[in-house]
Amino acid sequence: MSRKFVIVLAIGVIIVFLLYNSNVFFSREKAYISISPRDSYRLMEDENVFVIDVHVPEQKHLPRTDAWIPYEQN
C-alpha cells in the first residue's frame, strides 16, 4: 500500500469515529435520569411509580420498594 493511501484511510477512520461518538448521526438517549433526594421522595409517594432497590450489599431496603435486584446480578 502506498503511504498516501494509509494516511487517507487513517484520517477517514478518525472522522468516522468522531462522527459516531458526537451523536450527529446516532443520537442516544440515556437509560436513566439522575434525580435529587427530594424528587426521589416525591416519586416514591406516587402509587404509579415502580421502585427498584439495587443496593449491594443488601441492607435495609428503601421504603415503598417494589422490587430488590442486585445491580451485579445478570
pLDDT in tens, 55-73: 777 677 777 788 888 777 6
Contacts by 56-60 with C-beta closer than 8 Å and gap 24+? none
Please state the domain count of the chain: 1
- Mean pLDDT, rounded, for 52-56: 79
43 lies in some domain? yes
Confidence grade of residue 10 (pLDDT, cut at 50, 70, 90)? very high
Q: What is the pLDDT of residue 59?
A: 76
In a domain, 73, yes or no: no
Give the Cα-Cα-Cα angle 52, 56, 62 (nearest 5 degrees): 40
* 52 found inside a domain: yes
Question: Does the structure show a pLDDT above 70 at 25?
Answer: no
Query: pTM value?
Result: 0.41
Mean pLDDT across 21-50: 79
Residues 6 or more apart whose Cβ sits within 8 Å of residue 38: none
CB atoms closer than 10 angstroms to residue 67: 10
Residue numbers of the domain that contains 7:
3-68
Whether 74 is in a domain gets the answer no
Identify whether the C-beta of residue 52 lies closer than 8 Å to the C-beta of residue 66: yes
